[in-house]
Structure 1
Amino acid sequence: MKVLHFFKTYLPDTTGGIEQVIYQLSEGCRKHGIESDVLTLSTDAQPTRLRVANHEVRRAQQDLFIASTGFSYEAFTAFREMAHEADVVHYHFPWPVMDVVHFATSHQKPCVVSYHSDIVRQQILLMMYRPLMKRFLASADRILVASPNYIKSSKVLSCFMDKTEVIPYGLAPSDYPKPSIERSLHWQQKLNEPYFLFVGVLRYYKGLNFLLEAMVGAPWQLVIAGSGPEEEKLKSQAKSLGLSNVKFLGRIEDRDKGCLLQRCHAFVFPSHLRSEAFGISLLEASLYSKPLISCEIGTGTTFVNIDGVTGITVPPADPKALREAMFDLWSNHLKANQLGAGAARRFEQLFTAERMCAETARIYKEVIHEHAK
């Protein structure tokens, strides 16, 4: 079986949560006899074709980028060619251009949509896009969502309950090898321990501005690993607040991410808007048995982080609540360790890549069988 994944960004150009999901599916489904290709856009699409681990990636040149949406004329031809060779097309929503490509190419192949997030920020454009979006989702054979929380809270998904299934995202522990002694010592010398850690792309919905407010006068250190469009704004805020206890590391390599996760006291994830549909970083921290702090926003973050079981959940956009949760874990190591152990157990129960890939492979086989009737 051959599957084509289609999304606006992918490795090695970008390293967000959706990219991680596509990577895990592309690699993990090989065990189930499934070969995966990825079609994506790039601002520098040379080389056009490359291999990421054991799967092929084809990059179409991005011609325009408006309202968080990349557009490529080349993508239409590339998609038509690749869809022709595929048994199943796996779309990763949202990306309005993808909907246009889907209908313009009339590929007639079984299609699965991973519904990663509602459209939250572009409300005016959403009004114009909504008819196309509904038609696109109606044309899908299956819609996959990562948590029951998101189905319950999404007005869009409520219209497609008959074709929607929950398959939680998953990670492969083998992709997170034990950090080397050398790198571990490097970070031990560079950072003041114990510290709280955030890892992710610095975007508007991550709530990091509220987290910085929570750090005013705090006796513990916060480490922010990652880069993104909000980076300079956040650094300026930290400077204006006089925060000497916050360290920005920028984008880090995977080997260093493992060291930081292993050595941190707890993981804090203050995303405050529904654009944060799940939080792959929460899974990474769970894999390292770290207690979690996140916000209740009606999405998958609270499916991963169960208050009092794997960590602490707080109201969104609330610096005072974030500070109290951090103080709770900082002052009570026994509680922090117990919650970290709970996070690791929940990861093993629900969030392995093996489980995600087996369930997704089942969906692929079902839609192929249905189209063959």
Structure 2
Amino acid sequence: MTQTPATPLPPPKERRRLREAGSLTQAQVAERVGVSRETVRSWETGRTNPRGRKREAYAKLLTSLGEDTPTEEQLPAEEAEAAVEDTAEITGLATEITGLAAPVTEPQPTPPPPAPLTPAQAFDALYAFCAPALVRQAYLLTGRRELARESVERAFQVAWQRWPEVAVDRDPAGWVRSVAYEYALSPWHRFRPRYRHPEPPPPDTADRALLTALLKLPPSYRRTLLLYDGVGLGLAETAAETEASTPAAANRLLHAREALAAQLPDLSDPAELHRRMTELASTGRLHAAKPPTVRFVGERRTVFWTRAAIAFTAAIIGATTLTVRTAPTHYEPPVPLGQRVEGVPPRVVQGALSEEEVSLRDRLRSGMTSGPERLAPLGR
């Protein structure tokens, strides 16, 4: 059985050029093709490519945009020459009527291209664009405002430490979002004293019920539901970001929707669920820190761990040097254990005294024990 070849598509940059030439926004293209705006943005950046019927519809739309936008090569040569002649005639008539020799207008110099952004400016722009939305998304994942802010700040600190890698990534926002989600859903937060007790729930009853239902879902289901119905990613992008296969991501999404619909029947419609999740994320006062603060804290943490690594390495080198200097230079055999010697007669123990020995002992004890008389022998 042969497989039908995929419909050819122009390069990602050409897709964006055709859309802008047709005066269409990403949302309008997404509505015509039947996908989300984030999916169209992924197609134009080259991160993903459409498949199946969506690919055919997208290719047909780009083809129609290309036909409606004529290029210089498509203009007939005769029309171009006629336009040049008409322009020359009009210019000559204007010169004769006014009697003035109009000076030839020199072409204006092309303005220099804008200076490229510095790493700090690019980081600040990415932070200002992504941080507010990421804080609200992290709040839906965890139900904690402080943890949501901490997760986003930590993700951007990691991004600043690895900025050469993040700057050339095809989707820097997705890179930071993935790190923030991983940190927010880490199971180790339950052991921290500041996160042992739950935060006050939202004041509205409907928002409180939705947040409770979301937090009852497994973390993987919660993350898949937020990416697909909250952020608006496609199924393939959601599966890639959650590091799962497309069928597994689809099953997680279906089970998550069923669990929410069982508790809140009004949210069985995905559009209504998206609207309610957006309202819930916007109710709390969620503000992220300023970009310079995040960069400064990240740099300070990097300096601290660098110094700690240097100190630990120096301690290991010092301990190794001390061991080498104090270690013996030759082998000393250990002292062997004592061995039992056979054939030695047992030690004789003094027994009881006889009557004569007892009498002699008494006389010695009761006799003179001091004085000069003791030195002179007594005669018999």
Q: TM-score, normalised by structure 2?
A: 0.21
Based on CA coordinates, which of the two structures has the bigger radius of gyration? 2
Q: Which has the higher helix share?
A: 2
Q: Identify, as 1 or 2, the structure richer in strand.
A: 1
